A and B are shown apart, each in its own frame.
Chain A
Amino acid sequence: YNHALFFSILTTPPAEPTGPSGPLAQAIIASFGSFDKMKTAFDKAAATRFGSGWAWLGADVDGKLHISSTPNQDNPLMDGIAGVAMIPFLGLDVWEHAYYLNYQNRRAEYIAAFWNVVNWPKVSEYYEEYAAKGKPVVMDLATEAPTQSKAQLKRGGSASLGWIGQI
């Protein structure tokens, strides 16, 4: 679920920087004071998660936004997870596998880079259609193991890194 959500909220960096839509933008300001304050808090949660885990932006039952991090593959939707009960609609994988080839130990650079590839229209949709309505974001979880990305399938090419075939 976590990775399905993650890949769906990423996109090629847009030509013009985008941001959260009206309702989400308002919710961010209401809960954090500003987009930058939200980002600072999110970056801190992502940087300080020790070991493997995720950082999340989500909405609680009253519609207030919160940031949290979870260990390993835990998710704020799970019962009994310490911290705020909330519906996550944006997540960042901070397992080392998510950044090691490009950033090695420099997790802070990876976190900064993440903001360049966030699919804000998608995140806003998740907030408006799901989280703000008290519903978990529904992921269409395929039953087959992932092989190639949709973009690669469209291009008709094979994966560029030889070792992917060994997975």
Chain B
Amino acid sequence: TLNPKPCSLGYEYEALEPHFDAETMKLHHLRHHAAYLTTLNNALSALRGAEETKHLAKMGVDKLLQNLDSVPEPYKTQVRNGGGGFVNHALFWSILAPNGTKLSADSGLEKQIEKEFGSFDTFVQTFKDQAVKVFGSGWAWLSVAKESGALVISKTANQDTPAMETALIPILGLDVWEHAYYLKYQNKRADYIDAFFNIVNWEEVSRRYEEALKKKDEL
């Protein structure tokens, strides 16, 4: 089969305690993330099954998310929601780690953060403000602008992603759908956002930053 497969987290469900609880991690991975993948794969299978849409199924989900207008309904909505959900959560798990990892002081990312925000703390505060302001379901993001290498903090609704724009490459995302925090934090989203910053895998975010810079000359 040519469809994307479920991925493992890379750490145990309990490994992000006490910041992210094990039960939420299990539900989040095995129910929510898995359901997005099923929706995406059903759409891809359907697209593959018709002559006029076969080429869309070969594009790969990342490219497809940048070309949603070429996808006929109902598959367009399924790809946007399921495909977006699938890639967003895959990125999310990859930028988390038990107790987090450090952002090296001489990394390109640390230097760029200092350059654009003045300090790492100011960056964190700006990101937290964005994440708390997402109304309804959605995500907060740190992305790299391909052309300039600049860092962009943004938010999206539902399972939309900055990756839908060819100009942006997300390197860190925070899920603020209520399913991401309700069991442990209930409505206290700010506490959940604070907890997130204890478990960010900055080494991975930094690696994604360097990868994004290499894509500058890609179309």
Contacts and interface: CB of A to CB of B under 8 A. Distances in A.
B46 interface: no
Q: Assign chain A's interface to a size class.
A: 10 to 19
Contacts of B27: 104-105
Q: Assign chain B's interface to a size class.
A: 20 to 34
A78 to B, nearest CB: 15
B137 interface: yes
Interface in A86-118: 95-97, 100-101, 104-105
Interface stretch (B121-129, B178-186, B199-207): B178-186
Contact of A97 (B35, B135, B158, B187): B187
Contacts of B135: 72-73
Contact of A100 (B77, B136, B159, B183): B183
Contacts, number: 50
Nearest to A161: B186
A163 B35 CA distance: 31
A53 B182 CA distance: 16
B177 interface: yes
Contact of A105 (B179, B186, B188): B179
12 contacts: A50-B77, A51-B136, A51-B138, A51-B159, A73-B136, A96-B178, A97-B178, A100-B183, A101-B182, A105-B27, A105-B32, A163-B186
Interface of B: 27, 31-32, 35, 77, 81, 135-138, 157-159, 177-179, 182-183, 186-188
Interface of A: 50-53, 71-73, 95-97, 100-101, 104-105, 163, 166-167
